[in-house]
Amino acid sequence: MTQARSTQIIAPIVHAQPALASQVDAAIAAGADLVELRVDRIGDVAAVEALLRGLRRCPFILTIRRAEEGGAWNDDDATRVALYERLGLLMPGYIDIEYATWMRSANLRQKIGLVCETGDADPAGRPKNKLILSHHDQRGTPNDAENIGLLSAMLEQPAAMVKFVTTARDASDALRVLNLAGLADKAERPLIALAMGEAGLATRALAGCFGLWGGFAAIEPGGESAPGQPTIAELRSLYRWNAQTRRSRLFGVIGWPVSHSKSPRLHNAAMAADGIDGVYVPLPVEPTQAGFDWFMGQTFISAGRRFVGLSVTIPHKEHAIQWLERNAGEISPLATRCGAVNTLVRTPDGGWLGDNTDAGGAWTAIAAAAPSLATRSQRFRASVLGAGGVARGVAAVLVEHGGRVCIFNRTPDRAERLALELGCDWAPWEERPNRPCDLLVNGTSVGMTPADQDTPFPATGLRSGMAVLDTVYTPPETRLIREARAAGCVVIGGTAMLLAQAGGQYCHWHGREMPGVGVA
């Protein structure tokens, strides 16, 4: 099978107010295919009954989730099954019950069979509900053998479909959950598989790429039924839900944290404009070399092999270069000079090549805003603040273009080491306002949201005619940029560099120029 089954968007309703019918209307208007009535959370059974007796505009999933699996039902199972029977007779649609509950009692299975297709046909010939057997692990994502064992056992039950949910610690867990799609394919059984939490977003955003039966999305922020659930609008417009296929090439940004990244918006919009079958997602990976290595290991297995391009951001740019060195990956000469990799490109033999487009992007943005720097007869003087991944890249490219660079960093050892590597100067952090320069680059994270009242450079040191590049792009206008503009400097915001470095990545992955898209 190459084409994805159409993957359903399921909108949960978890509150009794506003009126259930108007919440259903809002879900359909937002683009939901089905609505899940979380009776355990709604609480008002009479309102649910009234809704089910009324005009139905979409199929419903009826769920009364017990507390042990993340629901709000604390009463006994006998009462719960009686409620399933009562409401189930008003459908038909789907009834979700936990696998653990289902396996516990033959009596319960028999009762559920009265309203589900698992039992005998209805004596009056009425259609029955389809059964969803579900499992929710609130603690984490168990090892692969345990997951496969449990899911295989669930797939043997006579349910219409299976829902398998874990909690992701980081994006490696998300990929391991997506691997389970292959098991359901082999069994030719519909599956919902996802990992809860912010780190599990890839499972939710890429459900269509793996032919999963459905995914859950909130009607609007605040309407989530589980942690990490995106909104319907995010799935449909940001993650290209309608364009996802089983052939879609996958891309993502590895970082920690990564939820603030503008790259998914940028790359998905560009691929949509270019008609490319691809999806780009945030991939939060634990902030250690071991976390990075473990994730990269996953990119050689099953679901992970679908990833053909990765952006790398804080704090993994140096981890990436080390991983490539240890795993016989290719590293571009510029990335080697920068000592940092921000772009991984899948090679024809299935390995990875690392490059650094931050550096080239910074130079593109500088040359566009301050062309005189690039063309003047004397070497320009540049002060670079920071000695981390971005600062290294920018400093390296400035040296390459003939700049007389001086590095200033809070931790002096790092400034000294970097200056030695690049063959440029360094000076103590406190001296940064005293050195005259034509170009000032902020390559630290100072000034970034939420600490956007901070600045890495005193306003008194800014001079008219200087060019100032702030690599920080959240907020789009930093305090440094505001003060530099007021002092008569040529200002270059982080967004210009972001767009230029993303353009470099796009060229690598798709072999063409990135179309112009906004990053508001």
**Catalytic pick among 130, 135, 317, 319:** 317
Residue 180 phi/psi, 5° resolution?
A: -70, -15
Cβ distance 455 to 479 under 8 Å?
yes
Cα–Cα distance for residue pair 114/87, rounded to 1 Å: 12
Nearest partner of 177 among 205, 159, 200, judged by Cα: 200
Among 401, 404, 414, 508, binds ligand NAP (CB under 6 A): 414
Residue 246 found at the interface with ligand NAP (CB under 6 A): no
Selection from 246, 254, 147, 238 nearest residue 199 by Cα: 254
- Eight-state DSSP code of residue 315: T
Which residue is catalytic, options 358, 438, 470, 510? 358
Min. distance of Cβ 322 from ligand NAP in angstroms? 14
> From edge to edge, which strands make up the β-sheet containing 467-470?
425-428, 404-409, 381-385, 439-442, 467-470, 490-492
Candidate residues 265, 305, 401, 410; the one interacting with ligand NAP per rule CB under 6 A: 410
Q: Does 255 bind ligand NAP (CB under 6 A)?
A: no
Catalytic residue among 111, 128, 136, 510: 136
Residue 334 interacts with ligand NAP (CB under 6 A): yes or no: no
- Strands 343-346, 307-312: pairing is antiparallel
Nearest-approach distance from CB 385 to ligand NAP, in angstroms: 7
Which of 183, 276, 308, 387 is close enough to bind ligand NAP by CB under 6 A? 387
Binding status of residue 261 toward ligand NAP by CB under 6 A = no
Of residues 163, 262, 316, 319, which has the active-site annotation? 163
Contact between 366 and ligand NAP by CB under 6 A: the answer reads no
Please say which residue, 219 or 365, places its beta carbon nearer to ligand NAP.
365
Burial 413-426 (b: 16+ CB within 10 A, else e): ebbbbbbeebebeb
356 contributes a contact to ligand NAP by CB under 6 A: no
Catalytic site includes residue 262:
no
When the beta carbons of 92 and 361 are compared against ligand NAP, the nearer one is 361
The verdict on whether 163 is a catalytic residue reads: yes
Candidate list 175, 397, 498, 514; residue touching ligand NAP; CB under 6 A: 498
For position 228 contacting ligand NAP by CB under 6 A, the verdict is no
Angle 77-82-85 from CA coordinates, rounded to 5°: 125
| Half-sphere exposure at residue 509, Cβ-oriented, CA atoms within 13 angstroms | 30
* Contacting residue, 501, 503, 506, 509, with ligand NAP by CB under 6 A: 501
CA-based nearest residue to 252, from 240, 242, 264: 264
Amino acid letter for position 218: A
Indicate which single residue of 339, 388, 403, 504 sits in contact with ligand NAP (rule: CB under 6 A): 388
**Is 445 an interacting residue with respect to ligand NAP (CB under 6 A)?**
yes
- Residue 358 is a catalytic residue: yes
Map the footprint of ligand NAP across residues 367-386, applying CB under 6 A. 386
Q: Which stretch binds ligand NAP (CB under 6 A): 27-35, 136-144, 372-380, 491-499?
A: 491-499
Least Å distance, CB 11 to ligand NAP, is 34
Residue 50, phi then psi, degrees to nearest 5: -60, -40
Ramachandran quadrant class, 321 (left: phi over 0; alpha: psi -120 to 50; beta: rest): alpha
Burial (0-12, 13-18, 19+ Cβ within 10 Å), 86:
middle
Joined tokens for residue 26: 């809002």
Cβ distance to ligand NAP smaller for residue 323 or 473: 473
* Residue 417 or 485 having the CB closest to ligand NAP: 417
Q: Is there a cis peptide before residue 450, judged by omega within 30 degrees of 0?
A: yes
Rounded Cα gap, residues 399 and 422, in angstroms? 7
Quick check: 448 binds ligand NAP (CB under 6 A)? yes
Among positions 93, 278, 389, 503, the unique one binding ligand NAP when judged by CB under 6 A: 389
The residues carrying an active-site annotation are 136, 163, 317, 358
Binding site for ligand NAP (CB under 6 A): 313-315, 317, 358, 361, 386-391, 409-411, 414, 443-446, 448, 471-473, 494, 497-498, 501
